Amino acid sequence: MTDDETRRAFHEELDDLCADLARLGALATEAVEAGTAALLNADLEAAERVVAGDAALDELTHSIEERSLQLLARQQPMAVDLRVLVTLLRAIHELERVGDLMVRVAKAARRLYPAQLDPKIRGLIDRMREQAGAQLRLAIETFAARDPARAAALVDMDDVMDELQRDLFSAIFATGTTDEAGLRLAVQTALVGRYFERIGDHALNVADRVGFMVTGHREPGRAS
């Protein structure tokens, strides 16, 4: 195989990995939708499907990781290609964590069943679902376009998610519940808010890493 053929084969494999990262992002976004619906609808069967469906995210994550490491070992890429692979390896675990967090939301749905959430709290959780999905989609678009400028928009979007979490906590406290069942509901709902806030952080981390992928430099104090 000539050098040109080797490089062409390398970039075809790299393109496949990038496409699979987009697939992983889509699975994570679908999990956000399904997990939130299970919670808000008190649907135990849907909650079980979310828990079981996390295996698909894990399997795809492991596949991307293994193939990326093999490509690193075989080709020993330099410069931008190396940074793309490093970014892939970091980004897939950010997205895999989104699936794990939605499993926690689904398990919260089981713990809360058959309790009904306060309408204001339901509305805030639904807005957090919408915000999380938008942030994940933009993070994947940022990676696909290799456009670190889009990460700036995600910073502003993450501020919105943080504000929604604060509003959720305020709504929980405003219920003034003191009985055991009410307190259990309040704790589980607060945890759900925390899970959505973390999803926003994971989306921001993916976008932040695109800056390193493109420029070779990281902005300090952002991605974790």
Q: Give yes or no for a cis peptide into 220 (omega within 30° of 0).
A: no
Within 13 A of 132's CA, how many CA atoms are on the CB side? 35
| 33 domain residue, yes or no | yes
Q: Is residue 156 part of a domain?
A: yes
Largest distance between two CA atoms of the chain:
74
Task: Report if residue 150 sits inside a domain.
Answer: yes
pLDDT digits (tens, 9 = 90+) for 10-28: 999 999 999 999 999 999 9
The chain-wide mean pLDDT, for the chain, equals: 93
* Predicted structure pTM score: 0.93
**DSSP per-residue letters across 105-140:** HHHHHHHHTT----HHHHHHHHHHHHHHHHHHHHHH
Task: Measure the CA–CA gap between 47 and 110, rounded to whole angstroms.
Answer: 7
Other CB atoms within 10 A of residue 85 CB: 21
**pLDDT tops 90 at residue 151:** no
DSSP 217: -
Residue 223 lies in a domain: no
24-70: per-residue pLDDT in tens? 999 999 999 999 999 999 999 999 999 999 999 999 999 999 999 99
How many domains in the chain? 1
Residue 147 lies inside a defined structural domain of this protein = yes
CATH of residue 209's domain is 1.20.58.220
In the chain, pLDDT over 70 holds for what percent of residues? 96
pLDDT (tens digit per residue) in 96-115: 999 999 999 999 999 999 99
Whether 221 is in a domain gets the answer no
* Average pLDDT of span 82-93: 95
Report yes or no on 162 lying in a domain: yes
